[in-house]
Structures are given as C-alpha cells and as structure tokens.
Chains A and B, each alone.
Chain A
Amino acid sequence: MKGIFKNETVQEFFESKEAVFGLVLIVVLTLAAIFANFIAPQNPYDLKELNLQNAYKPPGYVADGIRFLLGTDDQGRGVFSTILYGMRISLFVGLVSTVFSAIIGTILGLIAGYFGGKVDMLIMRLADIQLSFPALLIALMIMAIWGQGLDKIIIAITVVGWVYYARTVRGSTLAEREKEYVDSARVVGVGHLGIMFKHILPNVLAPVIVIGTVRIANAIILEATLSFLGLGVPVTKPSLGSMIASGYQVLFSGYWWVSVFPGVALMLIVMGINLVGDRLRDILNPKLKR
C-alpha cells in the first residue's frame, strides 16, 4: 500500500492542471455536501420549513427571510439547498456501492486467479455473461423486480460493478501467483487465505484504486439515471436525478431552473472524478512509463 502513495506519485499527479482542477472540484463539492446543514439556507427534507406558496419561484427570489439563490421547485424547496442535500445522496450512493463492488469483485477475482480451474471458469463465465449486457439494463432489471429505495439502488449498482474489479484482479493474481514470494510463503506454512489476502492482495490493489475512481462517476450517473426514470430514491428526499426528473415535467411552463442547476452539479461531480481518474490511470499504469 505504501508504494502507491509515494511522494513522486503525488508530485506527478499535481503536474497535471486538469487533474488538480478535478481534485479541487471534488473536494469543494464533497465538503459542500457534507456540511449541507450549515451551508444550505433551508432544510429541504423538513416539511415545516417548506412553504407551498414559494413553489416555482425564479432564481434570486426572497421570501420567509430566505434568499432562493437558484429558485424553488414544486414543493417550495430551494433548488440550491436541495442540490446540496441531493449531492449527499449521489455521493453516498456512488461511494458506498463502489466500495461494495470493489470488495466483492476483488475477493472473487482473487479466488478465481488463485485457485484457477472450475472456480475460475464459473466466476469468469458469470462476468462474461454480465458484461455482454449494458449496465443500465442489468440495474433496470434489478430495480424493476425489487422496487425502489436507496438500499435497492445500492444493491443494483454494486451488482453492476463487481465485474470490472474481478477481471483485473484475477489477471494480476494469475501473474503474482507464480512469483517466488508466494512459494516462499507457502513453504513457511502460510495458508491459502493468508497468501491471498496478506501477500497477493497488496500487490494487486493499484489497479483497483484506479478502476474505483472511474467507477464512482459511473455509479453516480447510474443512480441519477435510475432516479430520473422514477425507479430510484423516494421523491421526498430527491437526489440530483429525481430533481432533474421533476424539473423536466415543468420545462414547458418555463421553470427551467428546477432541472438545469441539478444537472450542472451532477456534471461537475462526474467531470471532476473523470479528470482525477484519467490522471491516476496514467500515473499508475506501468505500461505508459518509459
């Protein structure tokens, strides 16, 4: 693990202006989401704070002692406050489902690569089948069958994501398995579990981190898409996707701010993550190093 965060790597990362911009974006937006209670002028989940007379007011509207910087939606929720709280959901779902699928995928990849044979074939065939269908379709299938809710959306995105880690980890495990240090560990009497998790795992983690970064962006988009289709989180606690969906329905009434601003927030998050992910991939990919 230490090797991954060598000072050189950090320096290399900061050499790219785009990557630094991406990192700043992520940090600012994450902090804004975490401290939403303090930053947001209103708590959009607290019905007592909402006033239906404030519904669909344009950006800059002032009422009840609150300045609605980005306008209000159908419930009289301030779009700015709802975005801050909605980003929490988006980031939470993205992070949690990515961590889950990274853990599951890494373990399955380790098992497949280390033991080989039938176990390997079974896991990899399953991965092949899953990869031959688009992620959206698989998530849609899960949501269609199990219904809505934050927990189900996390399950769906976790299921969609494990394949990417399993494939990569299996590949590197196949290579690591043949190395001398694994033989020495075995001779000393370390068991299978010990070899897999204590010895091989640290050496196959770098690509997992790279995939993880990029997958967070995908997970966030997937959550937003499912919520947009009305299959995601409940409307009382809108995520960015469901905000865009509710704004889209009143687009022709001229209330453009309800869907435009959440979309901008979503795009900034995704772009920030993609920029950082691209840079990490370049740095940690030994093939690109001369």
Chain B
Amino acid sequence: MLEIILRRLWQSIIVLLAVSLLVFVMVYVSGDPVELLAPPDATEVEVAQLRKALGLDKPLHVQYLQFLKHALHGNLGYSYVNNAPAVELIFERMPATFELAMMATIIAVIFGIPFGIIAAVNPKKIYSKAIMIGSLFGISFPTFWVGVMLILIFAVTLGWLPSSGRGETVKVFGIPWSFLTWDGIKHLILPSVTLAGYHLALIVRLVRAGMMEVLLQDYIKFAKIKGVSKKKIIFVHALKNIMIPVITIIGLNFGGILAFAVVTETIFAWPGMGKLVIDSIHLLDRPVVVAYLMIVAVIFVIINLLVDIAYTFLDPRIRLK
C-alpha cells in the first residue's frame, strides 16, 4: 500500500520535472519579450540593459536551473506587465476559479446522477429519451457557444441574469467569495451552468450505463424477489456499486473543469486565473503564462495522485495486490 503511494509520488515528481523543462524550453524558443517591453524609442544600450535586468542574456540551461531553483522557493518570476510576482497574481485569482469550478461540479453532480438513474430505470419512457437526447446535445455543443447562447437568452433577451464579473463579494479570511451574496450568486449562475454542461452530460451517460448494467445482475433480481422496495434497490443496492467509477470521473473531471474555466472565464469576464492566462498570452507576459502552466500542472498531478490513492482504498482488488 505504502509502496504504491510512494511509487506514484515519485512518478508525479518526474512528471512535474518533465513539464517544467518542456514549458521552459518551449517558452524560451517563442518570441522575444524584450522587443515588446522596451519603449519604441529605446536605444540598443537600453534594450541590452533591460535584457540583463530580466536575466534573459544568460544561456538557456543556466536560465532553466535558475528557474527551477526559484520555482522550488515558490518564485516563478515577475510579471512583465503588472510588475508583481507571477505566483502572487495567480494565487490572487485562484479562489475565483475554484469557486466557479466547485459550483460547476456541484451542478453536474446533483443533476447528473438523478437524470442518469431516471434514464436507466425507465429507458423506454419519453422523459428518459429526452434526457438522452439532451446529453447528446450536451457533449456536442462546444462549451463557449453554450455560454454565448446563455448570455443571449438570459442576459440580453430576458435581462434576468448578469453576464460579466463576480458581482458583490464577501471576504472570508481575506479572500473574496461571490456565493455568499445574492448578487454574487446571480453572477455565478450563467458561468457555472456553462462550465457544468459537458460534464453533466458525461455523468448522465456514465450513471445510466453503469445503472443499466448493475440492474441486470443477480443480486438485484434476488432483492426484487425478496420483496425489497424498488426505491431501496435503486438507491441503496445499485447506486452503491456504481459510485466508484462515478467518483473517479468526478475527481478527474475537476481537472477538466479547471482547464475549461479558461474559456468560461473569458466569456463571462470572470476574474479567475483562466482569464488571467489568456490576457497574459495576448500580452506576451511570459512569466505569468509559465507560472500558470506550472501551478496547473501541480494541481493536476495532485488530483491524479489523490484519485489513484482513493481508488486503492475503495477497490479491494487493487489493495490486495
């Protein structure tokens, strides 16, 4: 058990090193930020000074080792544009992204699981077919177009919900949260529904497929013969057995939701780290892009590690190996 976890931890470190090298080299071979940052009337000497001040005059491997050393100290460089530590900028924006991602996950789960069960229990009924057609649309619609359509319907045409920003926030431990105010919740609805859409459809399909398979098994038939109520069979006996894959998918999807937050945040001007990275890409703010990619890589590696460990605990077949 401990050995499995330690081995996974070691692998995670290798992955992070590989990602850091890849990101660094690729960023290095891309455009020259000095040209962009120097004022247009700068002399050659001034340009050289700026290059030296940013540490861009040293050879590539020296820059990488320095980058790695600083990264281990939690320093991923200074933003060229905002003149603040890149890590700080990202951590500042992170709670907004997490709030959005959590909200989307909650929506996907509380609607996805019941819809999946309904579609599995009475597959011939019209409402089950409607759910399945809905889920086909859900996985066919590009996330960003769903966002645009929601804005068109609920913000432009009906005027019910706001379409940009976080609204009023309340600070808890110095971090602003939207979900604690009515105005904030209104601002949260459209972006989180947009972000949830694809994953909601995915969970519906997964739960339905798992449920249909489980319902055919002998122990369910036995419970039926024994006279256990239909509700109890579905919610206690069957649901328990499909929860492992569903929880895994929810865990792994959280990463996907974080990534797609980039799109949703751009559409709804949600001030999270996704919008920050898109803005930084357009401004060629290299350290912020690198810091974002590294921090997201760490988050992903942690999520994968946790899912793996959870799996080892939940599935006795792996534990006993």
Contact = CB atoms under 8 A, between A and B. Distances in A.
Interface of A: 129, 132-134, 136-137, 140-147, 217, 221, 224-225, 228-231, 241, 244, 247-248, 251-252, 254, 256, 259-260, 263, 266-267, 270-271, 274
A140 B276 CA distance: 13
Interface string B248-271: 000000011001101100110000
Contact of B139 (A141, A229, A274): A274
Q: Is the interface of B mostly helix, strand, loop or mixed?
A: helix
Interface stretch (B81-89, B145-153, B188-196): B145-153
Contact of A267 (B145, B156, B263, B277): B145
25 contacts: A129-B15, A129-B18, A132-B300, A133-B259, A136-B262, A137-B262, A137-B293, A140-B259, A140-B277, A141-B26, A142-B26, A146-B26, A147-B30, A224-B142, A225-B144, A228-B144, A228-B263, A241-B144, A244-B148, A248-B267, A251-B148, A251-B156, A254-B156, A259-B148, A267-B142
A229 B277 CA distance: 11
* Listed residue (A132, A230, A274) with the most chain B CB atoms within 10 angstroms of its CB: A132
Given A132-B300, A147-B31, A225 B26 contact: no
Q: How large is the interface on B (under 10, 10 to 19, 20 to 34, 35 or more residues)?
A: 35 or more
Interface of B: 15, 18-19, 23, 26-27, 29-31, 136-137, 139-145, 148-149, 151-152, 155-156, 255-256, 259-260, 262-263, 266-267, 277-278, 281-282, 289, 293, 296-297, 300-301, 304
Q: Is the interface of A mostly helix, strand, loop or mixed?
A: helix
B15 A132 contact: yes
A263 B142 CA distance: 9
Contacts of A252: 155-156
A230 B140 contact: no
B300 A136 contact: no
B289 A144 contact: yes
Contacts of A224: 142, 144-145
Contact of B26 (A140, A145, A244, A271): A145
Contacts of A263: 142, 145, 148-149
Contacts of B278: 229-230
Given A254-B156, A259-B145, 18 more contacts: A132-B15, A132-B300, A132-B304, A136-B259, A136-B262, A137-B262, A137-B293, A137-B296, A140-B277, A143-B281, A228-B263, A229-B263, A251-B151, A251-B156, A263-B142, A263-B145, A263-B148, A271-B136
